Structure 1
Amino acid sequence: MRGGIPDTGFARQLQDHSFRGKQRQEDLLAEVARYPLVNEMWENKIPRFDQITTPAYVVASYSNTLHTPGAFRAWRRMASEQKWLRVHNSQEWPDYYDEANREDLRRFFDHYLIGADNGWEHTPRVRYALLDLCGGDQTQLPADQFPPGDVAQTKYYLDGASRTLRTAPPAAADTAAYDTQGAANLVSFLLGFDEETIVVGYPKARLWVEARDADDMDLFVFLQKLDAQGTPLQEFTVPNQSARIHDVTEHGATILRYKGSEGRLRVSLRELDPAHSTDEIPAHRFDRVAKLSPGEVVEEKIELMPVGLVLRPGERLRLVISGRNLFGGWMPGLREYAPANRGQHVFHTGGARLSYLQLPITHR
């Protein structure tokens, strides 16, 4: 469950296909139905990161909706002073079994488990990837932190009139909206670049939203890279690029084909968790419900999955907001979550309600 949205497709697949041993197992589907809000049971499933002090070798990617947020969160929050992060550009299994990466992990274990003097301590604390999505990915880029220290958090304001993202706040108030039952239940905003720009780190959307004829909203936010002709760019994360892989990733299976960064939130669960929220990364409590009143406009902050993208002159980013998961499930064969949205979703921009996309930007 991400963003307070009970997307139980993976848990259902595990249960339906008997991916379990012969003994009794926990019934996650029943637990989600019985306890939709965070309580002591769910809190007991969260690792005590402040108690993790052992050396850690953390591997993450930008493309696994199931694992990516948790991998980065664990690396950020664990208390160990000896922790390393390596962000790669592929699906995790080809990366893990690559012999060079296996040897890298051996050096870590040899150093800490048998005391080998192999120079591991000089390994950069962070090694990250930048995706080009046109065949020019960069990997193993060294840094002392993630995002790298030269990144500046930059706000791009939504303009409902022009459907663009702007560095200057629009003075005039406007709106953009869609009918949740319509064929095209989405709105999007474009951001162009006239010089090479790197986006690496944690994106965030701050939106002023209103539900018409409803008291709640399930929102899905996507960030896509477009080429100079406006075509969305994607990239396979596995060596197998056969016709069957094309078929199963046409809609969904984002673990196998990277389509962009994604975030989601149920608006009634928008209250932030002050213990873990930062300016870069909003964290939510998910333990209380605040439904919307008719005509009420509320502010919400949505965490998007980490990104590492290179944008060249003429290329663009497209911010998409929708009432459904346009990218589909993260794994082939998952039953898709069906939102219970109804009415209109309205997004306020400009004036006193400045909706924006915050991006970690650098120029090198």
Structure 2
Amino acid sequence: MRLGRRRRLVPRHDAPRRHPLHVLGELVRHAGEDGPVRPRRARPAQPPHRPGGVRRELYENRAEFGDEILSHPLDDAYHKARSPVWHRIKVPFLSAANWGGQGLHPRGNFEGFLRAASKDKWLEVHGIEHWTHFYTDYGRNLQLRFFDFYLKGHRNGWDQQPRVQLQIRHVDRFVERHENEWPLARTQWTKLHMNSAFGLSPVAPTSSQSVSFYALGDGLTFLSEPVEKQTEITGPLAAKLFVSSSTRDADLFLVFRVFTPDLREVVFQGAIDPHTPIAQGWLRASHRKLDAELSTPYRPYHSHDELKPLKAGEPVELDIELWPTSIVVPAGYRLALSVRGKDYEWQKSSGARLSNFKNELRGCGPFLHDDPRDRPAAV
């Protein structure tokens, strides 16, 4: 349509009438051609055969993300430029984590809550997939209260909201609980010791012991006696190992597990994988150097600024973080720690898949450490 001289609307006969979505379709089709796009006619401003323009700019800005990560194995300027500067984060925030998001989001959720300079910060942790819990009424209502308070000025009591809201995980349900800090101040930090009989015990061995395993096999699992009473484990975990290898480096995969009295493993629907274990942790031995300022007994923090290769047969001390978790263990159940040289597998085949992931879901979702460029035979 166009405005005629007599200020009345008359139809244009030199162009077809189109719904705006049709124009959008043309804009999308032309966006990859050389030159900027004229929104009015949805055609390239320059003939597509001319050099330069959008196509060249897009091409020159492309990057192979996997290759870039592999070319920066240490925490160098590349990573620092893409990492948060915690003391500069002062805005209010609500950080929502998932117990079953091992290998992805919980790192930023817990780290941000602990280290950001903001005085107005909250941590929420839930289970199951995001879209069946946090993206439905429970999570939506929580977010609306936060945003209404800070963006609309509603006096809705958010300023009285406890700083930590946890969905405490039981073997058959979640129970909501509020806390004032993380880790929980009333935590009873407890040590369990591995022994050569593949036990996990509060009693330390009286002599030096060792066991061996094939790095690409099923590893070793250390199993506790049945717990005598219901026991809650909520918080971060850590393991100290003394390891030697025949190779110049070694990848360690630690899995904290719970078993029923008849030794069936307790797994959960995680953020992605339907058979997610209780907690996991990873460390490449050459990255074992600790950041003395940020490390704690329950949370080793690695600096990743220096490679320390192994010497064949020579033991080294490794402090390995297992990501935060929550589980209420019923009486009669057992705790276990598996030490492996490859990713955890709930079973060899589960049949579980999602259309946008190439691999079968066997306990770790899509977060696997199986790239031969990153894991050569020497590791």
Do the two structures share a fold, i.e. TM-score over 0.5?
Answer: yes
1:109 aligns with 2:144: no
Which residue does 1:32 correspond to in 2? 69
Which residue does 1:5 correspond to in 2? none
Which of residues 186, 190, 198 is equivalent to 1:163? Answer: 198
Structure 1 counterpart of 2:213, which letter? Y
Offset of residue 333 of structure 1: 9.5
**Secondary structure of the equivalent of 1:304?**
strand
- Listed as ranges, the matches of 1:172-321 within 5 Å are 172-181=207-216, 184-191=217-224, 192-211=226-245, 213-237=246-270, 254=273, 256-321=274-339
Which of residues 121, 125, 131 is equivalent to 1:83? Answer: 121
Work out the CA distance in 1 between the residues paired with 2:289 and 2:247.
19
- Assess if the C-alpha contact under 8 Å between 2:287 and 2:307 holds in 1: yes
- Assess if the C-alpha contact under 8 Å between 2:99 and 2:270 holds in 1: no
Q: CA RMSD in A?
A: 2.2
Equivalenced residue count is 302
Report the CA distance shift for 1:197/1:335 in structure 2 as closer, same or farther (over 3 A).
Answer: closer
Which of residues 63, 66, 70 is equivalent to 2:108? Answer: 70
Structure 1 counterpart of 2:252, which letter? L
- Assess if the C-alpha contact under 8 Å between 1:329 and 1:336 holds in 2: no
- Assess if the C-alpha contact under 8 Å between 1:263 and 1:303 holds in 2: yes
Which residue does 2:50 correspond to in 1? none
**Secondary structure of the equivalent of 1:317?**
strand
Which residue does 2:343 correspond to in 1? 325
- Listed as ranges, the matches of 1:39-54 within 5 Å are 39-54=76-91
Question: TM-score, normalized by length of structure 2?
Answer: 0.75
Work out the CA distance in 2 between the residues paired with 1:127 and 1:220.
29
**Secondary structure of the equivalent of 2:79?**
helix
1:149 aligns with 2:167: no
Work out the CA distance in 1 between the residues paired with 2:363 and 2:257.
17
Structure 2 counterpart of 1:132, which letter? H
Offset of residue 332 of structure 1: 5.0
Work out the CA distance in 2 between the residues paired with 1:71 and 1:337.
27
Question: TM-score, normalized by length of structure 1?
Answer: 0.77
- Assess if the C-alpha contact under 8 Å between 1:217 and 1:341 holds in 2: no
Residue-by-residue CA offset, 1:272-294 (whole Å, 9 max, x unaligned): 11232122211111121111113
Work out the CA distance in 2 between the residues paired with 1:166 and 1:342.
33
Residue-by-residue CA offset, 1:330-351 (whole Å, 9 max, x unaligned): 43597844544569xxxxxxxx
Work out the CA distance in 2 between the residues paired with 1:60 and 1:281.
18
1:118 aligns with 2:175: no
Structure 2 counterpart of 1:189, which letter? F
Report the CA distance shift for 1:190/1:335 in structure 2 as closer, same or farther (over 3 A).
Answer: closer
Work out the CA distance in 2 between the residues paired with 1:116 and 1:146.
27
Work out the CA distance in 2 between the residues paired with 1:334 and 1:86.
26
**Secondary structure of the equivalent of 1:174?**
coil
Structure 1 counterpart of 2:204, which letter? P
Work out the CA distance in 2 between the residues paired with 1:286 and 1:217.
15
Which of residues 59, 74, 94 is equivalent to 2:132? Answer: 94
Which residue does 1:354 correspond to in 2? none
**Secondary structure of the equivalent of 1:177?**
coil
Of Structure 1 and Structure 2, the greater strand share is in 1
Q: Percent identity?
A: 27
Offset of residue 34 of structure 1: 2.2
Work out the CA distance in 1 between the residues paired with 2:288 and 2:181.
29
**Secondary structure of the equivalent of 2:265?**
coil
Structure 1 counterpart of 2:189, which letter? Q
Unaligned stretches of 5+ residues in structure 2 = 1-30, 33-57, 346-361
Of the two structures, which has the highest relative contact order with CA contacts closer than 8 Å and spacing of 6 or more? 1
Unaligned stretches of 5+ residues in structure 1 = 1-20, 239-252, 344-364
